[in-house]
Every structure is written in C-alpha cells, then in structure tokens.
Amino acid sequence: MATTKKSIPSDVWPRRLKQARLAAGLSQKELGIAAGIDPSVASTRVNRYELGVHKADYQIAVQLAQVLAIPVAYLYCDDEALASMLLAFHRASPSVRRRVQAIVHSSSASSET
C-alpha cells in the first residue's frame, strides 16, 4: 500500500500569519521590519505572504514567528485544535510545560501496553 504525504492546504500559512500579526497588534510593515525585511518592501512582502501570492522560506518564517512570539510550527499547522494547543503550550510557564509533557508521555505509554 502506497503512503501519501499529507499536503498543507495553501491557505493555512497565510491565514495563520495574518491571525498572529493581528493578535500582536502589528501592521504588515511593522512586522516585516521587525523580522529583518528591508523597510522599503516590508509591507508589500508581508502582504504578499498573507495573500499567499509569495511563500516565505523557512528562515523568514522563523524570523516572523520570533517577532510574533509564536512557535513556527503554528504557521504550518492545519488542525485548529492542535494550533490552539501549540500556542497555549508555547505561552505556558516551564512548570506547566513539564506537567503537560508528563501527562502526554504517560498517556502515550499507557496506550501502548
């Protein structure tokens, strides 16, 4: 049986970028400049990313995510519940992260037996 690679819907990355930018209260230009994009094209480039006209390479995605204080995986996540969990986990304190990891590891270990 052949396996097929699940593709990311083309609107996921642009939609997530815009959601995160708006939540951060940044304009397209502000985000672009803060991510290291040349100020003369920052607004246009971010606009094109949000419209899906251009695709950012991974390094740009990392820089945008850092400015937006989100995990880069959030930009690529095609599952709403998982995307929400990624944001919550990213924003959680280290102690909460450790507890969540312990629960997940415990749950997966018990389901394997």
Residue 35 lies in a domain: yes
Report the 10 Å Cβ neighbour count for 3: 5
Q: How confident is the model at residue 110 (pLDDT cuts 50, 70, 90)?
A: confident
Domains of the chain: total: 1
Note down the domain range covering 99. 12-112
62, part of any domain:
yes
Identity (one letter) of the amino acid at 96?
V
Q: What is the pTM of this model?
A: 0.83
Q: Provide mean pLDDT across the span 39-60.
A: 97
Q: How far is it, in rounded angstroms, from Cα 74 to Cα 15?
A: 11
In a domain, residue 72? The reply is: yes
Domain containing 106 — which CATH number?
1.10.260.40
Q: What is the pLDDT of residue 107?
A: 81
CB environment 15-47: b (16+ within 10 A), e (fewer): ebbbbbbeeeebebbbbbbbbebeeeebbebbe
- 78 within domain boundaries: yes
Q: What is the predicted pLDDT for the residue at 4?
A: 46
Residue 87 pLDDT: 96
Looking at residue 14, its pLDDT comes to 97
